Amino acid sequence: MNDTVSDHNSVPAPVATAVLEHIVKSIVDDPDAVRIDHSENRGKIRLEVRVADGDLGRVIGRRGRTAQSIRAVVRAAATRDEVEVDIDFEDD
């Protein structure tokens, strides 16, 4: 199952997804281009974040520190959803 996040009620990790979307949109230059897709694999939710060209560096940060921080916060939020999440960042 692979869906674009549009209705948080249909997402397997709604709290984690909402937190991820809010954080990423607040960091990037083009928040309208942010897209989060999800898939499930062996009981784990994979969230794939796509941002506009040029915004990926802002999301990754120096030495990946921003991306690691985002992952930590979203994994903590995923405990409210009672799921484990993996997060990948890509540009379009």
- Average pLDDT over the chain reads 89
Instruction: Supply the pLDDT for residue 79.
Output: 95
β partners of residue 85: 45
Give this prediction's pTM: 0.86
Cα angle 21, 9, 83 (rounded to 5 degrees) comes to 70
Q: What average pLDDT does this structure show over 66-74?
A: 97
* Residue pLDDT, tens place only, 5-22: 445 457 789 999 999 999
Enumerate domains of the chain plus CATH numbers: 17-82 (3.30.300)
Instruction: Supply the pLDDT for residue 41.
Output: 85
Is a pLDDT exceeding 90 seen at residue 38?
yes
Packing angle, helices 65-81 and 14-27, rounded to 10: 150
